Amino acid sequence: MNTINSLLEKIENAKDLDFGGILNESIELFKKTWLQGFLLQLFTIIIVMPLIIVLYLPLIGMLISQQENGTIDPEAFSGFFAGMSILYVLFVIVGVFVLGALSLALNAAFFRIMQKLDHNEAVTTSDFFYFIKGKYLSKIFVLMLASFGIAILAMLLCYLPIFYVMIPLSYFSLIYAFNPELSVGDIVKASFKLGNKKWLITFGLMMVASFLSQIVGFLLCGIGLLFTAPFVYHPIYLVYKKVIGFNNTDPIEEIGTLSE
């Protein structure tokens, strides 16, 4: 079990990482995890779909009604949004936070699945719901609120800081996945420590991974994005693996690492 002090110490003493090596390892790991990445995309879509339906169904209904009348009244749209009740708006906001927390829980579970497959361990579909439990959801919800707050604050500061915080924010679910016993404050602290220490290489890896996943996805007629989009998670997982590591690392593997 990692403590916050041990995490921060490992991050502080981390060696330089090889960009090309991590990218190649990401591709090899992706060959093992592509099916689980596809399931992650499907589960995320299933979770987000109810909010999309609730949010857009009234607007779609109004558009259909206007089309049947043969006219489009711009004032009707203004009246529609003005007539939205405060209760409805609050419902949508709460829905965004809840579904965001569930999405974060799925992402954290995917990192655990990735780690199992990386070590040639068996996985099941139920592993995706590891963090969707009462003892985890409350902390995940607070972590989601913290990420929203940090992102909004960064955007209010003329958007430029968002390019910095996007890297630490990307480590939130990863740090939590392997250290769920830490407090939200400690997870945020460790994420910013790791994000700051390895900001440049993480940013570069995420940009290249995102570009490659989109290119390959579009070459596969667009539907391929459901398979390739999760590739972006692999480089940051490997950064965590090389900087912090896992408590269940094989002793022989540890000896090899120490001898480098």
Q: What does the pLDDT profile of the chain (260 residues) look like in tens digits? A: 678 999 999 999 999 999 999 999 999 999 999 999 999 999 999 988 877 777 777 666 666 665 555 555 555 555 555 555 677 778 778 888 888 899 999 999 999 999 999 999 999 999 999 999 888 989 999 999 999 999 999 888 877 788 899 999 999 999 999 999 999 999 999 999 999 999 999 999 999 999 999 999 888 887 888 999 999 999 999 999 999 998 754 433 433 443 33
Q: Please give the structure tokens belonging to residue 36.
A: 């689980």
Handedness of CA 171, 115, 178, 102 (dihedral sign): positive
Residue with token string 């974060």 = 104
Q: Which pLDDT belongs to residue 220? A: 82
pLDDT for res 241: 96
Helix (H) or strand (E) holding 114: helix 86-118
pTM, two decimal places: 0.84
Please report the pLDDT score of residue 95 as a whole number: 82
Confidence (pLDDT) at 76: 55
pLDDT at 260: 38
Computed on alpha carbons and rounded to an integer, the radius of gyration of the chain in Å comes to: 21
Q: Is the dihedral of CA 219, 225, 229, 230 positive or negative?
A: negative
d(CA 143, CA 256): 36
Is 54 within 8 Å of 92 (Cβ atoms)?
yes
* Alpha carbon 257 to chain centroid, angstroms: 29
Q: What is the DSSP string of 170-217?
A: HTHHHHHHH-TTS-HHHHHHHHHHHHHHTHHHHHHHHHHHHHHHHHHH
Task: Give the chain's length.
Answer: 260
pLDDT, residue 191, reads: 96
CB 26 within 8 A of CB 231: yes
Q: Give the C-alpha separation, 176 to 188, whole Å.
A: 9
What per-residue confidence (pLDDT) applies to 64?
65
